[in-house]
Structure formats: structure tokens, C-alpha cells
């Protein structure tokens, strides 16, 4: 989705919220955004560790102290 993959890397906070989608079976985690109105999830990047999560946060201006909810 071009909305998230722009050069500015900003997301509209009133409609979308950053989340981590985790597989119950494999434990694989994907960082992305969930639409608050429809519940649709848009994946951005695979999270293999803390460094990937830090890169996601930095890229989209998400503060380190903000907890990212997990969805399954």
C-alpha cells in the first residue's frame, strides 16, 4: 500500500494504528498497521528481532516507550 511506503513514512494516526501481527503456530512476527474502522491489517516488514522492531519504530516515528499491541 503506497500510503505507508512513501518517502516520508508517516501513517495517519486517526485511522491506522501500529501493531505487531504474530503467528500462534510459528511465532513469526510482522510489523504493520491496523485500520481502526475496518480492522484490516497492512503488513510492512518482517520482525526477526529487536533491531528490526527498532528500525520499524524509527522509520515511522513511533516512540520507543509506546507499546505496540499484538494481534494473532
Distance CA 17, CA 15 (A): 7
Assess whether pLDDT exceeds 90 at residue 31. yes
CA distances in angstroms from 48 to 15, 28, 29, 38, listed in the order given: 27, 8, 7, 27
Assess whether pLDDT exceeds 90 at residue 1. no
Report pLDDT for 8.
53
> Regarding predicted confidence, which is higher, 66 or 13?
66
Domain ranges of the chain: 16-71
Report pLDDT digits (tens) over 10-20: 666 788 999 99
Amino acid at each position: 500500500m503506497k500510503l505507508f511506503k512513501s518517502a516520508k513514512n508517516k501513517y495517519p494516526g486517526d485511522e491506522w494504528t501500529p501493531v505487531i501481527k504474530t503467528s500462534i503456530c510459528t511465532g513469526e512476527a510482522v510489523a504493520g498497521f491496523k485500520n481502526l474502522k475496518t480492522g484490516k491489517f497492512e503488513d510492512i516488514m518482517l520482525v526477526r528481532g529487536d533491531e528490526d522492531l527498532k528500525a520499524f519504530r524509527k522509520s515511522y516515528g513511533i516512540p520507543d516507550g509506546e507499546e505496540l499491541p499484538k494481534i494473532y
